[in-house]
Amino acid sequence: MGKKRIIQKTKEELLAETEKVEQALKKEVKTKAFHKIIDGKVYVSTSYNNTKITLTDINGNVLAWSSAGSIGFKGTKKATPWAASRVAEVIAGAAQKFGIEKIQILVKGIGSGRESAIRSLGNKGFNITSIVDVTPIPHNGCRPRKARRV
């Protein structure tokens, strides 16, 4: 089969990549609320490929959202716990701009970024009232095919 070559990035490439992620984190989040919102819900959706976090008010109106792909992560890096914590930091900044103090966290999916997203939201100083797992679970599934007659 021959030798396998591992491509290693230079320090300049690594620095450029981290600067790109930092700039994406500093992007301004547009605020469309005119009054201060105290309570909010945070939906964390994790999969094997990406992590998406949505910030809503109590009624479910979306205030801000972010994902690992929108921040600047590409490929398999989007599904890492580090990327999930960076996405949670972006959402935490948006929530602080809205004046949100108490949040409910609803987690969906089976990705590796579930816990790190929750931890980084907790570290930002929010009062977390509840953490609920809303991952869909099939109960009995679809109707099976009919038996094959030979």
The pLDDT tens digits of the residues spanning 45-68 come to 999 999 999 999 999 999 999 999
Q: What is the mean pLDDT of residues 13-32?
A: 69
Q: What is the mean pLDDT of residues 13-23?
A: 77
In this structure, are residues 31 and 95 in contact, taking their beta carbons and an 8 Å threshold? no
- pLDDT-derived band of residue 25, with 50, 70 and 90 as boundaries? low
The whole-number pLDDT of residue 33 equals: 47
**pLDDT at residue 42 is higher than 50:** yes
Q: Which domains does the chain have, with CATH numbers?
A: 36-133 (3.30.420.80)
- pLDDT-derived band of residue 15, with 50, 70 and 90 as boundaries? confident
Residue found by looking up tokens 């790109």 in the block: 20
- Say which DSSP state 139 is in: S
- pLDDT-derived band of residue 35, with 50, 70 and 90 as boundaries? low
The pLDDT tens digits of the residues spanning 71-127 come to 999 999 999 999 999 999 999 999 999 999 999 999 999 988 899 999 999 999 899
Tell me how far CA of residue 41 lies from CA of 21, 88, 92, 97, 126, in angstroms: 25, 13, 12, 15, 11
The whole-number pLDDT of residue 49 equals: 93
Q: What is the mean pLDDT of residues 26-32?
A: 55
Separation CA 54–CA 146 (nearest Å): 42
